[in-house]
Amino acid sequence: MRARKAIILTTAVALFFGVFFLFPVVMVIGEAFVDKEGGFTSAYVVQVFANPVYLEGLWNALLLGVISTIAALLIAFPLALFTHRYRFPLKGPLSALILVPLVLPPFVGAVGVKQMLGVKGALNAFLEKIGMMDPAAPIDWLGEGRFWGIVIMNALHLYPILYMNIAASLAHLDPAMEEAAQNLGCSPWRRLRRITMPLTMPGIFAGGAIVFIWSFTELGVPLVFDYSRVAPVQIYDGLKDLESNPFPYALVAVMLVISSAVFLLSKAFLGRSRLGTAPRPKGRQAEKVLRGGKGWLLTALFLGIFLFASLPHLGVILLSVATDWYGTILPEQLTGAHYDEALGHPLVVPSIQNSLLYASGAMLVDLLLGLAIAWVIVRSTIRGRALLDALVMLPLAVPGLVLAFGYLALAQEGRAFSFLVGANGNPVILLVLAYAVRRLPYVVRAAVAGLQQSNVTLEEAALSLGATPMRMMRRIALPLLSANLLAGGILAFAFAMLEVSDSLILAQQAEHFPITKAIYTLLNTLGNGYELASALGVWAMIFLGISIVGAVLLAGKRGGLFRM
């Protein structure tokens, strides 16, 4: 019985995955190798590497990926280590607070960074005021082409992913591993390098791979910074003449290969290291209580990083209530007018409704699929369930851009997905599916964690007392899982609300725009578009902040949601 159900579920999931994930991805790659007559060619990909503009774009994307990951690691590792080792005042709330930047939409934040660090921004105005800078020769903090602005934004946005992975690795570390080194004469610094760091590598690699792929393929932030010499933006710009220009496909294929290679490398590294076999700690309290100044120093560090990471969004909030903010430290006058005006704007209210619809649809799909997949992985014994486990994690390795591109191509007249496009080009089904596929790994991980924690005998007890499988599911299994499912679901929902690549590429008509595309369109609107975009952004942030804090609280244990 159980085996048959598992096989049916697995087949259904595999089918869904094949059609809505593998097929579009393979199609994009195929498109890059097919010439106008339909024959095979490698000319497009070769030409990408021969074209200095594309080459520079790829190189810049790679640099952005690597530097952003290193920067995020430099923030995340000390934080994770300190939370693992020490207890300091306000530790509980602070260790939740430093996760918040993950949910602040980075491309909204980019607006704030420009406002704060631009040539006529708040920092320069402050420096002028205290006489540290000559008004005639302002410093361009973000640099030519805004490269460092993007790095800062990525690092501040993504470090929580690394933090959670490293914290999870540390939590699984037997405290005796470190004590043994200490006991054999190892000083604290050398112990960090020789024992703690190597043993946390699984967490560093798992989180690092996600952060790298994320920032390597980031589209929204470079767009807001007007940084066009990076591959994702070049691909986006190539959309306009997609019919005649095969290079966007070739670029997408190259990015996919690089992302998958990084993902597989990190997996291979994790597989080869035998670190999973380390004994689990025996519940000994490894935290050292820091009293007085030292403890408050850590409190200040955590608070400082949180404040710094939310500085861009503070800029957005200020911008949304500013009458005029140019060349001054703070806005001269405050107003609520942008919020009023935004609510009256033809883009704003529909975009909120659209996003709510798309995101809830995606969440529902994810919950159903995630529960089914997790059940097969944890509870069934059919062969190939490890493969299924690996398969559903793949969307983490595939840039959103790639999938969006595949969907777009397949949705054209006469192609496989064209029946999914509603009347008047309504992309609701496409967007729900695209959102759902990319967030599925988080929901699966959450559900798997929940199923592993809940004992199978609890379910068997219900069955033995005469409950039918369906009633057992409803009365025993689902209630036990509800916290995990809810956490995964909220996360899927939140990420869908802020999704950039799919939203920008797949929503074509203004009436179907989700929030992110509405914000992007407003940013490019003359007049007070920036302020209106900020107002909409603030609404989105408040909404997401509440969702994510809820998810983190429900998940109870940090870290389970973002692990590979």
Partner 1 sequence: MEAIRADSISKDFGEIRALNEVSIGIEPGELFFLLGGSGCGKTTLLRCIAGLEQPSSGRVLFEGEDVTDLPTHKREAAMVFQSYALWPHMTVGQNIAFGLEERKVPRDEIADRVGEALEMVRMPGFQERGIDQMSGGQQQRVSLARALVVKPKCLLLDEPLSNLDAQLRLEMRSEIRRIVKENGLTGVYVTHDQAEALSMADRLAVMDRGRVQQIGCPEDVYRNPATSCVASFIGETNLLDATVKGQGEGGSVVVETEAGEYAGRPAAEDWRPGEGDKVFVSVRPEAIRIAETEDGSLGEIMETTYLGDIIQYRVRMHAGVEIQVSEMNPRLVLAKGVGVTLEVHPENVVVLRE
183 or 333: whose CB is closer to partner 1?
Answer: 183
C-alpha closest to that of 532 among 333, 321, 378:
321
Smallest distance, partner 1 to C-beta of residue 200, A:
10
Smallest distance, partner 1 to C-beta of residue 201, A:
8
285 or 333: whose CB is closer to partner 1?
Answer: 285
Q: How many helices (H) and strands (E) does the chain have?
A: 26, 2
The helix or strand, by DSSP H or E, that contains position 336, with its residue range, turns out to be none
Angstrom distances, CA of residue 117 to CA of 123, 297, 545: 6, 27, 24
How long, in residues, is the chain? Answer: 564
* DSSP3 helix / strand / coil % (the chain, rounded to 5): 75, 0, 25
Residues of this chain that bind partner 1 (CB under 8 A): 174, 176-177, 179-187, 190, 194-195, 198-199, 201, 273-275, 277-279, 282, 285
Tokens linked to 8: 């049916």
Contact call for residues 549 and 95 (beta carbons, < 8 A): no
Amino acid sitting at position 321: V
Nearby residues of 543 by Cβ (< 8 Å), 6 or more positions away: 497
Smallest distance, partner 1 to C-beta of residue 558, A:
23
137 or 289: whose CB is closer to partner 1?
Answer: 289
The helix or strand, by DSSP H or E, that contains position 86, with its residue range, turns out to be strand 86-87
275 or 416: whose CB is closer to partner 1?
Answer: 275
Angstrom distances, CA of residue 426 to CA of 161, 239, 553: 34, 18, 36
62 or 286: whose CB is closer to partner 1?
Answer: 286
267 or 379: whose CB is closer to partner 1?
Answer: 267
Q: Which residue has the tokens 């994810």?
A: 366
Smallest distance, partner 1 to C-beta of residue 199, A:
6
Smallest distance, partner 1 to C-beta of residue 87, A:
11
Smallest distance, partner 1 to C-beta of residue 277, A:
5
| CA separation for the pair 32, 34 (Å, rounded) | 6
Smallest distance, partner 1 to C-beta of residue 22, A:
35
Contact call for residues 305 and 76 (beta carbons, < 8 A): no
4 or 282: whose CB is closer to partner 1?
Answer: 282
| CA separation for the pair 82, 308 (Å, rounded) | 18
Q: Which 3 state secondary structure label does DSSP give 273?
A: coil
φ/ψ of residue 315, rounded to 5: -60, -40
CA 383, chain centre distance (Å)? 31
Region of residue 91 (left: phi > 0; alpha: psi -120 to 50; beta: else): alpha
Angstrom distances, CA of residue 244 to CA of 27, 43, 405, 507: 17, 15, 15, 21
181 or 348: whose CB is closer to partner 1?
Answer: 181
Smallest distance, partner 1 to C-beta of residue 208, A:
17
CA 391, chain centre distance (Å)? 19
Smallest distance, partner 1 to C-beta of residue 191, A:
8
Smallest distance, partner 1 to C-beta of residue 86, A:
14
Smallest distance, partner 1 to C-beta of residue 176, A:
4
277 or 381: whose CB is closer to partner 1?
Answer: 277
Q: Please, is 341 exposed, middle or buried when counting C-beta atoms within 10 Å of its C-beta (0-12, 13-18, 19+)?
A: middle
190 or 475: whose CB is closer to partner 1?
Answer: 190
95 or 196: whose CB is closer to partner 1?
Answer: 196
Smallest distance, partner 1 to C-beta of residue 183, A:
5
C-alpha closest to that of 355 among 180, 197, 543:
543
Q: Which residues pair with 322 in a beta bridge?
A: 334
128 or 179: whose CB is closer to partner 1?
Answer: 179
